[in-house]
A and B are shown apart, each in its own frame.
Chain A
Amino acid sequence: MLKATQLSVGSRLKPLDLQVGAGECVAVLGPNGAGKSTLLAALAGLLPFRGHVAWQGEDLARIPFLQRGRRLAWLGQESWAEFDFSVRDVVAQGRYAWGEDGRGVEEAMALLDLTHLAQRPVTQLSGGERRRVFLARALTTAAPIQLWDEPASSLDVRHGLEVYALAQRKAAQGSCLLVSLHDIRAAYRFSRVLVLEEGRIQGDGPPHEVLSADLIRRVFRVEATFTTSLVPELPVIRS
């Protein structure tokens, strides 16, 4: 569904090949400056890059801009806002490429626990709430390819878990997701992890195979101990 061939961006991303199929949910890991954001932005066509990127089998360069908005959604790392649009206005922007028909806006707000904030100006939200607004905007596009750059970075425990659960559900429905994150432990919730370091792929596969103590030491420069410890989970029945 998403395919990159010899994709590179200056010195930030060395030429790499990558293929992510429908129904796959990939965690992208790596230390600061490893190229996670660069990879996601290049795959989304937001950066000038070398090599080829194809969405659903079609060369990105041939896809008109408006079409891109229907096929791929990208959540950037920063979600600041200078103008006081309401939460609903921002979420509804996800339908730009569909003529702002308002479809799925209420559902996306409900999914990300924003319904009670719908009329609030985005300038008056906390960092985590704003993050959820921009994630809801990405969901509203109904795009089959979703690229999220550290979606859970400023979220509390529960909303963070919900975002990961949401990613799994989207994949189960046939979407293709790439989600960058810093919490190595959270990567175990994904079926596939991609580890980047200095713009190169250092590991790609199921978390239990890829995330060895050796790789973690080499890439992240920390010693990892594998134990059973506190792992928060969402209750099966949501309140």
Chain B
Amino acid sequence: MKLLALFGTLLALALVLSLALGDSWIPPKDVLWALLGKGDELTRTVLWDIRLPRTLVGLAVGAGLGASGVVMQAFFRNPLASPGLLGVSSGGALGAVAALAFGGGALGLFLVPLASIAGAFLATGAVLLMARRGASPEHLLLGGVALNALFGAATSFLLAVSTASLQVTGQIIFWLMGGIENRTWEHAAMALPLILLACAWLLPLARAMNLLALGESGAQSLGVDVRRLRWELVALSTVLTALATAVGGIVGFVGLVVPHVVRLLAGPDHRRLLPLSMIGGAALVLLCDLPTRFFSVGLRLGVVTALVGGPFLLWLLRRRPC
């Protein structure tokens, strides 16, 4: 409970900072007034049209990646598994890069995330098709390696071809580093409701995930419908990753480091691990987004999450060896 309060406070702080910080500082009091539809018009516009959608997208991306990481690790019974393992985010990357390479960046804000969703769901479809045939986790893992290689190669090819136009190359590289700047309500609407729904769906599965983490046959013998659970977990985690990638690009490390840190602090019980990783993931993405606002060139969200997450994980591992 203490940890839940701590993480909740952290997220609340991240939300307030995310709304208050930017080109102009809006004091938290004015943030509240503007949210209630009061105060001066400029503040209201900045808040409602720019910072709130950006914050909500960050919330969705972080919660989605945190939850997806927990699920992947329980599913593969391996604390090193991460959301990108099954090839879903590289599928999303390929979709977005294809859209950008063919000039989609100039055709409005939604073509790229829509193309990314298409790519990610293509990968999701392939993964689910394998899972449906009753493939074992090892089988799925190898399938993910193949998909990652395939999508990665296609992405590299498009990137190489696009070097004819420096602007397009820049757009692609920026997208591949992840980021939630210039996000609108449409982006938020695309990701947030479905991510929240998938997270809500996951929470009651926590007890069964505890059993699954200690072996499939054992879990089934204790009363878990393992085939169904596996399918649900793969479906939910790929959908979460797909949506997060579509609106946030490739934001590395959140899905790996957040469940790890939470596990070191709260233990392996998924009843705590799942909600804390959702909250922690959201807080991490929002906090890591803050510095990118002041270094619009160079410091990208995916870069900051790795820069913060890597040393933090190393520090935790040093303090408390696994």
Contacts and interface: CB of A to CB of B under 8 A. Distances in A.
B269 A68 contact: no
A69 B222 CA distance: 4
Interface string A57-87: 0000000011111101110101011111110
Nearest to A41: B217
Given A76-B215, A84-B267, A100-B207, A69 B221 contact: yes
B207 A96 contact: yes
A134 interface: yes
Given A82-B79, A96-B207, A68 B214 contact: no
A68 B79 CA distance: 29
Interface in B87-102: none
Of B79, B220, B322, the most chain A CB neighbours within 10 A belong to B220
B213 A82 contact: yes
Contacts of B78: 82
Contacts of B221: 44, 46, 68-69, 72-74, 76
Contact of B224 (A65, A72, A74): A65
B293 interface: no
A66 B225 CA distance: 8
Contacts, number: 73
A76 B267 CA distance: 25
Interface string A179-203: 0000000000000000000000000
A85 B215 contact: no
Given A83-B79, A84-B267, A84-B268, A74 B218 contact: yes
A91 to B, nearest CB: 12
B217 A70 contact: no
Interface in B160-219: 207-208, 210-211, 213-215, 217-218
A74 B215 CA distance: 12
Contacts of B225: 65
Interface of A: 41, 44-46, 65-70, 72-74, 76, 78, 80-86, 89-90, 93-94, 96-97, 100, 134, 137, 141
Given A81-B214, A83-B214, A93-B214, 14 more contacts: A65-B224, A68-B223, A69-B222, A69-B223, A74-B221, A76-B218, A78-B215, A80-B215, A84-B268, A85-B210, A89-B210, A100-B207, A137-B218, A137-B222
28 contacts: A46-B221, A65-B220, A65-B225, A66-B223, A68-B221, A68-B223, A70-B223, A72-B221, A73-B221, A74-B218, A74-B221, A80-B215, A82-B77, A82-B79, A83-B263, A83-B268, A84-B267, A84-B322, A85-B210, A85-B214, A85-B268, A85-B269, A89-B269, A93-B214, A94-B222, A96-B208, A96-B224, A97-B222
Interface of B: 77-79, 207-208, 210-211, 213-215, 217-218, 220-225, 263, 267-269, 322
